[in-house]
Amino acid sequence: MTCKGALLTLIASAGVLGLIRCTAPLRAATQTEILRVVAPDSLVDAVVTRNSGGATTSNVFRIFVVPRGHPIPSDERFERFRADKISSLCVEWRRTRLLQLSYDQARIFRFTNFWNSGDIQHFQYVVELRLEAMNPTSSLLELGTGPAVPSRCAHEING
């Protein structure tokens, strides 16, 4: 192989490696756990993470339910909630196996109303998630423009 051919092969290889690196998920590097709330029976945690979208995009908030003390799953299929442009997100256990998610305003991309795991009681332990808009007059079209509803939440998140 000529010197020119070797150089082209090296440049092409570097380009492929760069593409692989650029297409790899960046979520893990920018994801920050900001809240972990233990369930009343201490078997599971509700975990809220914030993913920084960079200077030109808003933060994305994700909620997971995990066995007590377990790390956040890296697979997005396990998230129960994903939203951005959040105002007054409240995450609280109303009772054992019932997790209430309340918000003033949010742009919600994903919500799943239950969670279970083979790690706890062979899938028989089911957590119900409820989603509630605190301000019935709030509109997605008016994000950030309306007055916030006073919150009584111990774990409130704004983003």
Range scoring the smallest mean pLDDT among 9-13, 29-33, 143-147 = 9-13
CA distances from 142 to 68, 85, 147, 151 (A): 37, 11, 10, 19
The answer for residues whose C-beta is within 8 angstroms of residue 156's C-beta and 6 or more apart is: 88, 89, 90
Q: In this predicted model, what pLDDT tens digit does every residue of 74-129 receive, in sequence order?
A: 888 899 999 999 988 999 999 999 999 999 989 999 999 999 999 999 999 999 99
CA dist 39 and 98 (Å) reads 9
Residue matched to tokens 């998920």: 25
Residue length of the chain: 159
- The three-class DSSP label of residue 40 is coil
Q: What is the DSSP annotation of 113-145?
A: SEEE-TTTGGGT-EEEEEEEES-TT--GGGTTT
pLDDT digits (tens, 9 = 90+) for 22-68: 444 444 448 899 999 999 999 999 999 999 866 667 899 999 999 99
In the chain, domain spans: 27-157
Tell me if 72 sits within 8 A of 31, measured CB to CB. yes
CA–CA distance, 100 with 24 (Å, rounded to integer): 33
Q: Residue 58's pLDDT is what? A: 82
